[in-house]
């Protein structure tokens, strides 16, 4: 177990590193030359699955001790040169960590601890040095970080930690462009993809240029090398990686055209290109001292990419989407055995802490800090952070200190958000008499936790729906009492507008008040939240459905005003959302049935109206912009009601000129249509996209959401799965486990997943550990499901497992 309190600064410095790669698919030779000085007489370097060929100190062979994970030798107190030669097998590297081959292209993934699978090195983020890299091989393309000195020789002038190292070698097509920075420097932009896929890079390139401009105008951050490269590969464990000057991407987040990418894909490409680019400052120029500080770069960079997408698209709709993701991924994680603070204090396997808590809750902590200290102090604090820590590996404390200094106030209470796991609950009650309203708030945290600062934006509405005023209050004690005066009538409160505090709210509001807020609140986030809260009351507390159904009709009526917003407002909570609301003794079958009853009642009442609107909402020629995407998402929301009421969506599917509508229609039919139409359209979709892996993954996902265990097993036997690929696997098995609760949460479902985890763990431990996260809510299931899950996990834990999977299973069972 690695612990934060055990952190020790390194006792040595690396002045420079020179790496030579003699590429070979099965026997690549890596020669690493380190110029070092050490305050200690022994030096221990990290390694993982390396074949050590030789070690030389100042030109002479030297005694050393090598283990599977380390290389130790004695070193002088004077500056010395260490030359280490290792051999690696990129073809056999199915873990996709370190140097590996994807479709014949050599590529690397070094975060968090992949560099030690390339050479022996102090593989920790606080060891920064400058890299010169020489690559020899027969590939026409030989890329690494920094600026190119000659073919295959690269120098990165910016000191960086090893996790930001990258190498790519292969025969790829390229799309080129340029960007002129705010100081007038011209930067070459290059996106590398498989030959023939160049036309699919236009949106990614456009997103990159907009990201570069936005980071200059919004944060004053300019790019700092002569070239910025993106390489898209088809085998990748994550979304993308921010290696200095040479980002490597899962190709599903680069390639797009209207026939093969949905609006969600376009939005993801824009957001992820931006995220990785923004890391150049928040992550690369300023990095983490140790991996406990991961949220220093990830929370901040998620915050930045959310702001970018908000500026590019509709800010309220982006907020609705971000919070839905936060609740489904992070709140669920925080409510189960994998719960951990934004800054964990210990870990057994760092790969398992690339979580929604570190990323998304981390971004919320920064967003709340902005509300607490105000926009001006927030901007000044960030400027100070960039100035003070440029070129350093630093900590969350020192980040927060920048804001404390400019705001001239302590943020100690706020900083507890980093240390205390769990989602705070705020209990709310009010008293009203003679024009005075008293608001009582209480924050409920885990036992032993101290109060956190909760900034709550509160709107006050008159009973006829007028906006009276808005105020931001901060609850930073367990209990707070806030008094508001001079009302003519008792006001209606819109609490936690924009989800200003990342909390759950317990405020027993009547159905009438929720319906009132759903139609009158001036805050879009809360307007939609009112609909969701109302729907959850109907679905989990037996509230009368009839008035909700009437409200839903009103929303449909209003929907052309702001299609993107109403598409969200008309989307009912998912089965997983409902399960989270119930919290204990969950019965997925009952949830599915209750939800279905409401869905059918809504369709019965409103399909006709939906149909009339559907046909008037024309979207015109395809454009990926947010307004057009909003219209398409509303059309799909309306189409769902029509299909439930028996409408045949085949023609919509067949005539669609873009994937959003085609796939949207297919999904409506698969979830709600008749079997004959479903089989016909699924067969058509399969035939159409069999040769396009990323689109075919959507077919697999749709299958995973509905299939039985037996059907998933059968699909896994198919040709598409003969070679392991993370995207394919997550699309079918990952989606089955995460988004098919009635089939997964059964003894057969649990047993199947555990068998699969055991099998895949031998191929790719990061993927098996990630998919195992599907068990995170098993303790809130009803019996005998809970027991069956426990037994399946216990049986799995008796096998020899990777560190990644073992860590997850151990925490699950604790
Ligand atoms: Zn990131």
For 483-501, the pLDDT digits (tens) are 999 999 999 999 999 999 9
Work out the pLDDT band at 619, boundaries 50, 70, 90.
Answer: confident
Distance from residue 421's CA to the centre of ligand 1 (Å): 21
Tell me: pLDDT of 650 over 90: yes
The per-residue pLDDT for 550 is: 98
Distance from residue 311's CA to the centre of ligand 1 (Å): 19
Tell me: pLDDT of 226 over 90: yes
How many angstroms separate the CA atoms of 338 and 661, rounded?
Answer: 37
Tell me: pLDDT of 618 over 90: no
Work out the pLDDT band at 255, boundaries 50, 70, 90.
Answer: very high
Tell me: pLDDT of 324 over 90: yes
| Strands across the sheet containing 153-160 | 60-61, 51-57, 80-88, 28-38, 12-22, 129-136, 153-160, 147-150
Mean pLDDT of 446-460: 98
Mean pLDDT of 230-241: 97
For 812, residues 6+ apart whose C-beta sits below 8 A from its C-beta are: 337, 338, 772, 775, 776, 778, 793
Strand bridging mode 129-136 / 12-22? parallel
The per-residue pLDDT for 283 is: 98
Distance from residue 313's CA to the centre of ligand 1 (Å): 21
The per-residue pLDDT for 493 is: 98
How many angstroms separate the CA atoms of 668 and 645, rounded?
Answer: 11
How many angstroms separate the CA atoms of 3 and 57, rounded?
Answer: 32
| Residue 775: HSE in the Cβ half-sphere, 13 Å Cα cutoff | 33
Q: In sequence order, what DSSP letters do the residues of 343-390 get, joined into one string?
A: S-SEES-GGGG-SHIIIIIHHHHHHHHHHHH-HHHHHHHHHHHHHHHT
Distance from residue 490's CA to the centre of ligand 1 (Å): 46
576 is catalytic: no
Distance from residue 354's CA to the centre of ligand 1 (Å): 9
For 521-576, the pLDDT digits (tens) are 999 999 999 999 999 999 999 999 999 999 999 999 999 999 999 999 999 999 99
Terminal Cα-to-Cα distance of the chain (whole angstroms)? 15
> Could you tell me if 318 and 306 are in contact, meaning their C-beta atoms sit under 8 angstroms apart?
yes
Distance from residue 299's CA to the centre of ligand 1 (Å): 8
| Of 276, 349, 532, 645, catalytic | 276
Strand bridging mode 60-61 / 492-495? unpaired
Buried b (16+ CB within 10 A) or exposed e, 2-17: eeeeeeeeeeeebeeb
Distance from residue 732's CA to the centre of ligand 1 (Å): 25
Distance from residue 614's CA to the centre of ligand 1 (Å): 39
Element (H, E) at 490: none
For 16-65, the pLDDT digits (tens) are 999 999 999 999 999 999 999 999 999 999 999 999 999 999 999 999 99
Distance from residue 274's CA to the centre of ligand 1 (Å): 10
How many angstroms separate the CA atoms of 55 and 33, rounded?
Answer: 10
Q: Is the sign of the CA dihedral 343, 347, 350, 356 positive or negative? A: negative
Q: In sequence order, what DSSP letters do the residues of 540-598 get, joined into one string?
A: HH---HHHHHHHHHHHHHHGGGSHHHHHHHTSPPPHHHHHHHH-SSB-HHHHHHHHHHH
For 338-375, the pLDDT digits (tens) are 999 999 999 999 999 999 999 999 999 999 999 999 99
Distance from residue 272's CA to the centre of ligand 1 (Å): 9
For 112-153, the pLDDT digits (tens) are 999 999 999 999 999 999 999 999 999 999 999 999 999 999
The per-residue pLDDT for 458 is: 98
> Could you tell me if 456 and 474 are in contact, meaning their C-beta atoms sit under 8 angstroms apart?
yes
**Beta-carbon neighbour count of residue 612 at 10 Å?**
12
Element (H, E) at 656: none
Mean pLDDT of 587-611: 98
How many angstroms separate the CA atoms of 393 and 289, rounded?
Answer: 4
How many angstroms separate the CA atoms of 129 and 284, rounded?
Answer: 12
Global pTM value: 0.98
Mean per-residue pLDDT of the chain: 98
How many angstroms separate the CA atoms of 45 and 532, rounded?
Answer: 53
Distance from residue 189's CA to the centre of ligand 1 (Å): 20
Distance from residue 351's CA to the centre of ligand 1 (Å): 13
For 375-430, the pLDDT digits (tens) are 999 999 999 999 999 999 999 999 999 999 999 999 999 999 999 999 999 999 99
């Amino acid at each position: 177990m690695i612990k934060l309190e055990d952190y020790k600064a390194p006792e040595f410095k690396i002045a420079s590193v020179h790496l030579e790669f003699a590429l070979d698919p099965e026997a690549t030779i890596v020669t690493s030359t380190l110029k070092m000085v050490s305050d200690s007489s022994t030096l221990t370097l990290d390694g993982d699955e390396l074949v050590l060929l030789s070690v030389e100190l100042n030109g002479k062979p030297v005694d050393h001790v090598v283990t599977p994970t380390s290389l130790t030798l004695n070193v002088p107190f004077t500056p010395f040169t260490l030359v280490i030669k290792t051999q690696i097998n990129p073809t056999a590297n199915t873990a996709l960590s370190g140097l590996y081959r994807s479709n014949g292209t050599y590529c690397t993934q070094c975060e968090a601890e992949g560099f030690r699978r390339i050479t022996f090195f102090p593989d920790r983020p606080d060891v920064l040095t400058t890299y010169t890299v020489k690559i020899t091989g027969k590939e026409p393309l030989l890329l690494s970080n920094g600026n190119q000195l000659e073919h295959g020789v690269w120098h990165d002038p910016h000191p960086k930690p090893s996790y930001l190292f990258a190498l790519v070698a292969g025969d790829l097509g390229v799309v080129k462009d340029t960007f002129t920075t705010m100081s007038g420097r011209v930067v070459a932009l290059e996106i590398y993809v498989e030959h023939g896929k160049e036309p699919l890079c236009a949106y990614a390139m456009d997103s990159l240029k907009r990201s570069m401009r936005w980071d200059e105008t919004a944060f004053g951050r300019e790019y700092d090398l002569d070239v910025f490269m993106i390489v898209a590969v088809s085998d990748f464990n994550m979304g993308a990686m921010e290696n200095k000057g040479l980002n490597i991407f899962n190709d599903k987040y680069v390639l797009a055209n209207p026939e093969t990418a949905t609006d969600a894909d376009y939005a993801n490409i824009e957001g992820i290109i931006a995220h990785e680019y923004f890391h150049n400052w928040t992550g690369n120029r300023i990095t983490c001292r140790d991996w406990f500080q991961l949220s220093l770069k990830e929370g901040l960079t998620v915050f930045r990419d959310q702001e970018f997408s908000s500026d590019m698209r509709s800010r309220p709709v982006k907020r609705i989407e971000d919070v839905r993701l936060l609740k489904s991924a992070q709140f669920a994680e925080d409510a189960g055995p994998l719960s951990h603070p934004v800054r964990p204090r210990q870990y057994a396997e760092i790969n398992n802490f690339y979580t929604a808590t570190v990323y998304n809750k981390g971004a919320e902590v920064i967003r709340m800090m902005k509300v607490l200290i105000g926009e001006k102090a927030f901007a000044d604090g960030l400027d100070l952070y960039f100035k003070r820590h440029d070129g350093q590996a630093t900590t969350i404390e020192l980040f927060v200190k920048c804001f404390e200094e400019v705001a001239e106030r302590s943020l100690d209470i706020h900083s507890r958000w980093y240390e205390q796991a769990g989602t705070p609950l705020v209990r709310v009650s009010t008293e009203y008499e003679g024009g005075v309203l008293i608001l009582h708030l209480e924050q409920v945290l885990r036992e032993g936790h101290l109060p956190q600062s909760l900034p709550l934006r509160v709107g006050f509405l008159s009973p006829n729906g007028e906006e009276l005023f808005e105020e931001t209050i901060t609850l930073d004690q367990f209990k707070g009492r806030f008094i508001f005066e001079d009302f003519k009538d008792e006001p209606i409160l819109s609490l936690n507008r924009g989800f200003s505090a990342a909390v759950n709210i317990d405020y027993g509001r009547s159905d009438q008040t929720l319906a009132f807020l759903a139609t009158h609140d001036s805050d879009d986030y809360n307007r939609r939240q009112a609909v969701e809260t109302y729907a959850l009351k109907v679905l989990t507390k037996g509230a009368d459905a009839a008035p909700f159904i009437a409200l839903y009709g009103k929303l449909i009526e209003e929907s052309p005003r702001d299609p993107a917003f109403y598409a969200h407002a008309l989307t009912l909570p998912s089965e997983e959302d409902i399960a989270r609301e119930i919290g204990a003794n969950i019965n997925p079958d009952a949830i599915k049935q209750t939800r279905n009853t409401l869905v059918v009642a809504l369709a019965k009442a409103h399909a006709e109206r939906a149909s009339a609107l559907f046909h008037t909402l024309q979207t015109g020629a395809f454009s990926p912009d947010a307004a057009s995407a909003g219209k398409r998402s509303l059309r799909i929301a309306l189409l769902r009601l029509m299909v439930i009421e028996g409408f045949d969506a085949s023609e919509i599917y067949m005539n669609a000129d873009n994937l959003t509508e085609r796939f949207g229609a297919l999904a409506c039919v698969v979830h709600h249509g008749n079997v004959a139409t479903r089989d016909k359209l699924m067969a058509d979709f399969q035939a159409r996209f069999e040769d396009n892996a990323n689109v075919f993954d959507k077919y697999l996902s749709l299958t995973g959401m509905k299939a039985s265990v037996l059907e998933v097993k059968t699909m896994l036997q198919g040709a598409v799965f003969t070679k392991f690929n993370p995207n394919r696997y997550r699309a079918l098995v990952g989606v089955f486990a995460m988004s098919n609760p009635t089939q997964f949460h059964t003894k057969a479902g649990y047993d199947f997943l555990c068998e699969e985890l055991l099998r895949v763990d031998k191929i790719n431990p990061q993927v098996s550990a990630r998919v195992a996260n599907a068990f995170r809510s098993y303790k809130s299931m009803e019996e005998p499901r809970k027991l069956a899950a426990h037994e399946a996990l216990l049986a799995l834990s008796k096998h020899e497992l990777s560190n990644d999977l073992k860590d997850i299973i151990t925490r699950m069972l604790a």
